[in-house]
Chain A
Amino acid sequence: MVEKTRRSNVGDSPRGGDQREWEVFVRKDDTDPMRHVGSVSAPSPEVAHEQATRLFAWFAEDVWICPAEETHRFSTHDLDDDAKPAPHPNGEEGRTHEL
């Protein structure tokens, strides 16, 4: 039995300045998992894709773009003043099963 990791929902502080912020995910080829590689500032997903392409075209086959404000983050990191503890189911549950 393993105790579950307790995380907090990292606050909803703005991440962009004059433009929206977009989380960027890339993979090198179609057998790789998507990898989070940071974020870009852009007014639209199309421009965000252009920005990401300029940065990662030399590396990535696929690029996914996600609005930063729609990405809900749950983290054990405790810097954020506004982080709220995430709901934590009671009790413990097994993560591994020994046969």
Chain B
Amino acid sequence: MISVSKLLCDLDAEGDGLRYDAAADSDADQIRERKQQKPVVVWNLTKQCNLYCEHCYAAATEERAPGELSTDEGKRLLDDLADYGVPVVLFSGGEPLVREDLVELVAYAADLGIRPVLSTNGTLITPEKAAELRDAGLAYAGVSVDGLRERNDAFRGQEGAFDAAVRGIEACLDAGLKTGLRYTITERTAPDLEDVVDLLYDVGLDRFCFYHLDYGGRGAAIRDADLAPAEKRRAVRRVCDMTREYHERGEEIETLLVGNYCDAAYLVEYARAELGDDTAARVREYLRRNGGDPAGERVADVDYQGNVHLTQFWQGYSLGNVRDRPFSAIWDDDSNPLLAALRERESHLTGKCADCRYLDVCRGASRLRALGVHDHPFGPDPQCYLTNEEVESDDVSV
């Protein structure tokens, strides 16, 4: 997760707060540090969803799938995550609001000192539900919208989904919940990007997260709808330009890019061209400390059946199951050669990524996309849009 607004406009990154504030209840440096080293855990509570989105990484379905972790099993999972020092649990799906125990689980996580956040299509959020989630301790609701009315409803498989999602956003904002947009940029959704931001800013939203398509679940089946690298570069530039234009008008929106750490390298190049070498050097240092692609390290996924995955998008491969073994033991098991290699991926990457001068801020970006296109988890990310000159330049002044 890369905060464009922080890097280009000096806006404090709410994303950092969402990740790390769970440690704010302690003044002990070592506790803060320990929590920052643990992954954010995405928990797909259910595979069931009331929509049928073309790009759904969880391949969610209308019917409830068998094998969901029960409420009690979920609480024992949260106990383990809290003991392990996980700072944030992202309740996701499917659509998490179809689970009747969502509020109970959010409250349980909050009581354990985990920061509970939500990923939802927003269509089931009523004013009453928003108030319940707020009272339970929910720290943030990310609502998915992928275009204006026509494009969104076609992409998300249901007429009326856009209007229902906007009503859900309004309910969250009225309840005082920190709320943001989740927007997946593809060939089909890219044309509406600025218009959606303008519309939802007028509704009251000020946080906008833009996701690149990853090739998991139904996302793998619509690879052809992913933007070509050059178009992707233009879309990222549009996000950067739009963010600066908002800030120049005094409208301090927060914008973030997710799912392609090539963006980190591009932001350094953008900062150098638009804001000068000093800013570019500062941006690069921040992104280097941010650590690049987080798969297998700073983000983890537990699916509705308890299978543990390297990221939420990579659900075709499981490291283990929390019904057999604690999450903490699965995640710490470096005897798994793939997990261990991901954690020292610099020495395994091949092709363009291996010698890239931005390796320290990107770390090869998506290993899942590399696997999907090259049949190799350490091949180059096919969605890198840097030019050869940018990748190979010896100019490391920024």
A interface residues with partner B (beta carbon < 8 Å): 10-11, 13-18, 21, 26, 28, 35, 37-41, 51, 54-60, 73, 75, 77-81, 83
B interface residues with partner A (beta carbon < 8 Å): 47, 59, 65-67, 70, 72-73, 76-77, 80, 305-307, 315-326, 335-338, 341, 348, 371, 375-378
Query: Residues of B contacting A59 with CB < 8 Å?
Result: 337-338, 341
Is B66 a contact of A81 with CB atoms below 8 Å? no
Is A54 a contact of B305 with CB atoms below 8 Å? no
Q: Which of A18, A28, A37, A51 has the most CB of B within 10 A?
A: A37
Contacting residue for B377 out of A10, A14, A38, A55, CB 8 A: A55
Is A54 a contact of B371 with CB atoms below 8 Å? yes
Is A81 a contact of B307 with CB atoms below 8 Å? no
Nearest-CB residue, chain A, relative to B317: A40
User: Once bound together, how far apart are the Cα atoms of A17 and B304, in whole Å?
Assistant: 10
Contacting residue for A51 out of B66, B316, B320, B337, CB 8 A: B316
Query: Residues of A contacting B335 with CB < 8 Å?
Result: 35
Query: Residues of A contacting B337 with CB < 8 Å?
Result: 26, 28, 35, 37, 56, 59-60
- Known interface pairs A17-B47, A18-B59, A81-B72; A54-B325 also in contact (CB < 8 Å): no
Is A15 a contact of B307 with CB atoms below 8 Å? yes
Is B377 a contact of A54 with CB atoms below 8 Å? yes
- Known interface pairs A10-B323, A40-B317, A80-B73; A58-B376 also in contact (CB < 8 Å): yes
Is A21 a contact of B317 with CB atoms below 8 Å? no
Query: Residues of A contacting B316 with CB < 8 Å?
Result: 40-41, 51
Contacting residue for A55 out of B67, B321, B338, B348, CB 8 A: B338
User: Once bound together, how far apart are the Cα atoms of A11 and B305, in whole Å?
Assistant: 12
Query: Residues of B contacting A55 with CB < 8 Å?
Result: 317, 338, 371, 377
